[in-house]
Amino acid sequence: MAMDIRRLSAFSDADQGGNPAGVWIGEIFPDDATMQAVAADVGYSETAFAVPQDDGFRVRYFSPEAEVPFCGHATIALGAALAEHFGDGVFKLQLNEAQISVEGRKQGRLTAAALQSPPTHSQPVSRPLLSEAMSLFDLQAEDIDLRIPPALINGGAQHLVLAVNRRETLKGMRYDFETGRRLMVREGLVTLLLVFAETSRLFHTRNPFAFGGVYEDPATGAASAAFAGYLRDIGWDHGGVIDIVQGEDMGCRSRIHAEFSDVPGSSIRVSGTARAI
């Protein structure tokens, strides 16, 4: 089966940065082994595979090492690719565990895209897991911004969030890849989300993605959706809108915009631009 992979960078900062994703659109899915091999060969943190289904598309996401239930930046890339193939519009997507939508609209060399995330939820993290995660990054209790307590957060995939109280701490993030991978696989954590709040509505984040065989993601829409839902859960003064800068410390600055209501658990609208690579 010929595999025509579209390569796009999602959540770009104008015509720079963003997170590369592969997109394949066809009539019938290849077998799982083929999709896994293609994702490994493409080498990006995720590749999205989409086929027509009813009045929308069935979508699956593969990282270089494993299938993941939801990937935000690959969904934004898919929205851009669908707009290129079929024209501007809103496209229904059936994921493994949820139904969502993505919108794509061409804007010159860029495509504006927005997804509606799966429902969000959060829960406290156990003391042993929190201790293990903090040790992974060599974080001490005084490094944590307790206005945003550590938690397990979900917006279609599970993440652990650690908010730090200094931008320099975020910039200095380091971890042992294999130790992080074992932790994330064991706990079912698609990413670990480290956050610094510059203001109540502007955040800087970093996203280790050892679960998928990638040291760090430069833009993570799924974690951003989960984080927005968590801010709502804890009563943060978000005003219904937050902006996230990610990838800056990797030299790949990305911009993610999230809008959401006060309805607990409701979908998060995550938007940004995508550019062809």
pLDDT tens per residue across span 66-101: 999 999 999 999 999 999 999 999 999 999 989 999
Does the residue 212 lie in any domain? yes
Both tokens of 271, joined, read: 């938007």
Residue 269's domain is classified under what CATH number?
Answer: 3.10.310.10
Q: How far apart are CA 235 and CA 142, in angstroms?
A: 23
Among residues 61, 96, 113, which one ends one of the domains? Answer: 113
CA angle 78, 80, 86 (to 5 degrees): 95
Q: How many domains does the chain have?
A: 2
86, 163: one domain: no
- On whether both 193 and 265 belong to a single domain, the answer is yes
Same domain, 261 and 200: yes
- Clarify whether residues 147 and 15 are in a common domain: no
- With b for 16 or more beta-carbon neighbours within 10 A and e for fewer, the 86-96 pattern comes to eeeeebebbbe
CA distance 250 to 223: 18
The pLDDT tens digits of the residues spanning 261-271 come to 999 999 999 99
Domain assignment of residue 165, yes or no: yes
- Please give the angle made by the CA atoms of 242, 248 and 254, to the nearest 5 degrees: 50
Asked if residue 181 and residue 251 are part of one domain, the reply reads yes
> Which of the listed residues 70, 87, 113 is the one where a domain comes to its end?
113
Residues 235 and 270 in one domain: yes
* Coil/strand/helix, residue 28: coil
Q: What is the pLDDT of residue 14?
A: 87
Q: Is 252 exposed, middle or buried (0-12, 13-18, 19+ CB in 10 A)?
A: buried
Q: What is the pLDDT of residues 153-205, one digit of tens each?
A: 999 999 999 999 999 999 999 999 999 999 999 999 999 999 999 999 999 99
Residue 109 lies in a domain: yes
Type of residue found at 73 = H
Least Cα distance to 139 among 77, 219, 70, 195 occurs for 195
pLDDT tens sequence across 26-71: 999 999 999 999 999 999 999 999 999 999 999 999 999 999 999 9
Residue 66 and residue 162 share a domain: no
- Same domain as 156, residue 99: no
Would you state the structure tokens that stand for residue 149, as one six-digit string?
């307590």
* Pair 146, 264 in one domain: yes
Angle at alpha carbon of residue 277, lines to 175 and 193, rounded to 5°: 25
pLDDT digits (tens, 9 = 90+) for 90-149: 999 999 989 999 999 999 999 999 999 999 999 999 999 999 999 999 999 999 999 999
Question: What integer pLDDT is reported at residue 150 of this predicted model?
Answer: 98
Residue 2 has pLDDT above 70, yes or no: no
Host domain of residue 33 = 6-113
Work out the average pLDDT over 226-240: 97
Q: Average pLDDT over the chain, rounded to whole?
A: 95
272 pLDDT above the threshold of 70: yes
